[in-house]
Amino acid sequence: MIAAEHREGLRLRLKCRCRKEPPVGRRATGDGSRAARKRVFTLRSKVLAQTSLIHYSPHTMTAFTNMFPSADQDDQILEYWINDLFRDPLLADVMETDAFRRLEDISFLGAINYAYPDLKLKKNQRSRARHSIHVAALTNYVSTARGYDPSLKRHLVLAGLLHDIGHLPLSHSAEPYSKASLGIGHHQLGEQILNGHNALGRELHSLLKETNDLDFLTDLISGTASDVDGGDLFSSPINIDTIDGIVRTHAVMASEPVSINRLAVAHAAFIDDDDSRYEVMDRFWKLKHFVYDRMINNTISLIADFSAKDFFEKGHRHLTESDLLDTESVWLDKYQELFQGFAKRNSFGGQRIDFLEREYLVDETEKGRHRYAVSKWKSYVDIDEVFESRTSEQLPLYFISQINS
């Protein structure tokens, strides 16, 4: 294990050598050049020498599994990079832990997942586990293209794989209540799991603690790691989490598929240098606006999220910390009224639902990070008719007020 003072010394040295955040999608120049990156990565490798694949002895070795057998020879498709994850025994074992397997039964879209009768992707493709595997694959692709050393690459891929490890059942739909009542959201819960502070996380923690820098892993997930360490993959406006999240949400809810390739967006955002990349990135940013405006913040979705918050706030049940570590199947048994309510609600007449409205903007006069902006303001809707049964039709929205926050 890395001594705390040794790790801190490494961080101080890295901090001195890092330039401030370069624009998204640009390879930094000067002290942040590719040559400088390799020097820093070599330094990190010496400190994290025990993370080398040849030193890893898994306690529950998982046989290599091809999720997409036909993709093994084509590294220009995302499925190739998904398959490649399983070639690392540690990553394969992480995906077999109880903490990660729990994400197979956590909906990516939370209550929205239960509010529509005709979602386009199969249930297993709408899970936090599937999303996390795709984020890890995108990280794998970018890390390889940038020439990162094995130990840094593994930390980045682990961060992609584990960035959502703390999501509770119904994801963001139930999180406002857990934050208000327990002071715990998915970021705090994720850190508890990674550090083995609860029973669910102990198996995962034991896999990670001897060969990985958990502080660095947490920094990557929280978006506070430096760009020279690959932190831009998680902190940029167009980041690897967002790339899969937006494309996945559209694929789940849209009546027609969109022809946006995740690898192409990642390549444009993190590997390309010329201005032609902005065509791909601009199109993605506009898709993000469409997804929030037409899908996440439409009436049916807002009511689904509100009904989860309303259920707990009105005292039907009081969540405990252990409840946050359940799967949705457990909640489905515990809170049957809640899930029935997603399909049929008759108590929304005259209700006011507060939400945060967003507008994602492209400033074509700018380059890099400043090209992509978001404007947010507080808004609310009044539901002036009884919502008796869930259909695929959208109820009318009445925007009474938009208050700049």
Q: Give pLDDT, residue 204.
A: 98
Q: Give pLDDT, residue 175.
A: 94
Give 92-120 pLDDT, tens digit per residue.
999 999 999 999 999 999 999 998 878 88
Nearest to 163 by CA among 212, 211, 122, 218: 218
pTM: 0.81
Q: Give pLDDT, residue 258.
A: 79
Q: In the predicted model, is pLDDT for residue 19 greater than 50?
A: no
In degrees and rounded to multiples of 5, residue 372 shows phi and psi of -115, 120
Nearest to 53 by CA among 77, 27, 83, 88: 88
**C-alpha 229: how far from chain center:** 19
Give 72-84 pLDDT, tens digit per residue.
778 999 999 999 9
Q: Give pLDDT, residue 196.
A: 97
Average pLDDT over residues 274-302: 95
- Cβ distance 339 to 381 under 8 Å? no
d(C-alpha 251, C-alpha 272), whole Å: 26
pLDDT band at 383 (very low <50, low <70, confident <90, very high): confident
- Cβ distance 204 to 215 under 8 Å? no
Between 28 and 271, residue with greater pLDDT: 271
Give 337-369 pLDDT, tens digit per residue.
888 878 655 556 667 889 999 999 999 999 999
Burial of 86 (0-12, 13-18, 19+ CB in 10 A): middle
- Cβ distance 352 to 398 under 8 Å? no
> What is the torsion angle, in degrees rounded to the nearest 10, for the CA atoms of residue 163, residue 243, residue 123 and residue 183?
40
- Cβ distance 66 to 86 under 8 Å? yes
Between 210 and 11, residue with greater pLDDT: 210
Give 163-215 pLDDT, tens digit per residue.
999 999 999 999 999 999 999 999 999 999 999 999 999 999 999 998 899 99
Nearest to 243 by CA among 291, 298, 276: 291
Cα radius of gyration rounded to whole Å, the chain: 22
Residue percentage of the chain with pLDDT more than 90: 61
CATH number of 4-285: 1.10.3210.10
d(C-alpha 120, C-alpha 109), whole Å: 13
